[in-house]
Amino acid sequence: MKTELQTTIDPKAGTGNWKWFTPVLQEAVFRAAAQWKDRLAGVEKPWLCWNVSGRWCYLQQRLVQEVGWTPVVGFDPRTGPPPLAEGSILIDFNETLNLPLLWPHVPLEFAFLFSHRLAFWHADLLCRLSVMERLAGQFAGLKDGQLAAVLDRGGLRNRLSFKSHRYWELCGCTTKSASENQYYNGTGWWRNFQLHPKCVLAQERVKRSTYHYDSGVGILYWQKKYNGSIVPIDINLVKEGHCSEIGNKNYRHLANHFEPTRNLGAEIDLNYSIEEVATRLGIAHLLAQ
């Protein structure tokens, strides 16, 4: 039986979009984050791995462990928990929210509530160990108040479309003070940052509405307007292992591909062989459980 909360929310509420996220849900996140914080007590270098496909998430966990970080495993409620590598920490970020789907953007937006440092990446990204070592060193070297992220200008076609540029959550690492400062300035990771509850001035909302709606636009705005400290990650460093439709002319879409309800895990497995990708990146030895 659905709870009252479940029947009054839009399924898109769990996708990291202020247009669909209600004050009731925000209050629920603040309460739930106390439990997330307890689960990460004593963990110095947590790295968020989001499960949409079990084998991909397991390999991500092993990569994180290889560079001395602790995998923190969340999952889409439609998929459930993946196999866990020994030492990984499983957190059901949806346990009290009870949303029909949940993207990693939700805990990422509220990282300041439960962690002093949180690395993150897309569920469809794999990296060579040399790249992992470089990222891990960069993330560990961040000072509190800094963020590392991938700058995305949208290619040559959008080079001069400055209001559509953004920092991309393809991979990165945030710190407590950076996350907190972004939140209270209403400039975090989520879509439609002009609707952020901390953006209360009508004039400011109008100004922000001229920017692109997508996730991470608010992060670039934070850097420009609020002097946010961001250490850029070169997209060329990590794009080799990004198993998405970007640059893949043969990518096959499944139903609801352009909707929040898309089945990303099924699309990854349909379009990419994890064995082939892992072999190409020199990490196939980490596939065995």
Task: Provide the pLDDT for residue 91.
Answer: 98
Task: Provide the pLDDT for residue 2.
Answer: 44
Q: What is the pLDDT of residues 123-145, one digit of tens each?
A: 999 999 999 999 999 999 999 99
Sign of CA dihedral 59, 274, 267, 127: positive
For residue 228, give the DSSP letter: -
Which residue type, as a one-letter code, is found at position 252? R
Read out DSSP for 101-166?
A: ---THHHHHTGGGT-SEEEEE-TTB---HHHHHHHHHHHHTPPTTEEEEEEE--SGGGTT-GGG-E
Task: Provide the pLDDT for residue 258.
Answer: 83
H helix count then E strand count, the chain: 11, 7
Residues in the chain predicted with pLDDT less than 70, given as ranges, are: 1-8, 154-161, 289
Cα angle for residues 17, 167, 111 (degrees, 5° grid): 60
